[in-house]
């Protein structure tokens, strides 16, 4: 399963008056991480949605350890927690460019048939691409 890292800089618009990243931006960072984790395994989020499968977030947990600031380099590490079934679960670690531990997080998403709006099992082609 492994992990996948992405790096990006904090943009001015993501910060408050003190130059600190607003807590509401972290879920967007997590989305970037899991989307790129999937892409690194040959899975396109867009192609999945085009095929009628959507992945809404059903649970999110964030623990903030230290602030991130405007223009900081952020390194976001994304892990798949376990074999996906009807749900897929990711863990995240967020560090700055100096290696300071900024936050840890977890998201749970559900595989949903977009036409019926009903949960489905993780498709076999996705399981194969991620090594199950």
CA dist 131 to 1, 10, 16, 39, Å? 7, 33, 41, 14
Residue among 16, 50, 71, 100 flagged as catalytic: 16
- CATH of 3-129 among 3.90.550.10, 3.90.1410.10, 3.60.15.10, 3.10.129.10: 3.10.129.10
For the chain, domain boundaries: 3-129
pLDDT digits (tens, 9 = 90+) for 50-100: 999 999 999 999 999 999 999 999 999 999 999 999 999 999 999 999 999
| pLDDT of 102 higher than 90 | yes
pTM to 2 decimal places: 0.94
pLDDT digits (tens, 9 = 90+) for 46-63: 999 999 999 999 999 999
Across all residues in the chain, what is the average pLDDT? Answer: 97
Active site residue 16: yes
Neighbours of 81 (CB within 10 A): 14
């Amino acid at each position: 399963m492994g992990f996948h890292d992405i790096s990006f800089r904090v943009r001015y618009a993501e910060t408050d008056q003190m130059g600190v990243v607003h807590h509401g931006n972290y879920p967007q960072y997590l989305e970037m991480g899991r989307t790129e984790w999937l892409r690194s395994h040959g899975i396109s989020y867009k192609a999945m949605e085009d095929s009628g499968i959507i992945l809404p977030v059903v649970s999110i947990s964030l623990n903030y350890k230290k602030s991130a600031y405007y223009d900081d380099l952020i390194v976001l590490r994304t892990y798949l927690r376990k074999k996906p079934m009807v749900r897929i679960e990711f863990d995240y670690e967020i560090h700055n460019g100096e290696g300071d531990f900024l936050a840890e997080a977890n998201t749970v998403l559900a595989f949903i048939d977009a036409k019926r709006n009903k949960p489905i099992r993780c498709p076999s082609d996705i399981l194969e691409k991620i090594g199950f």
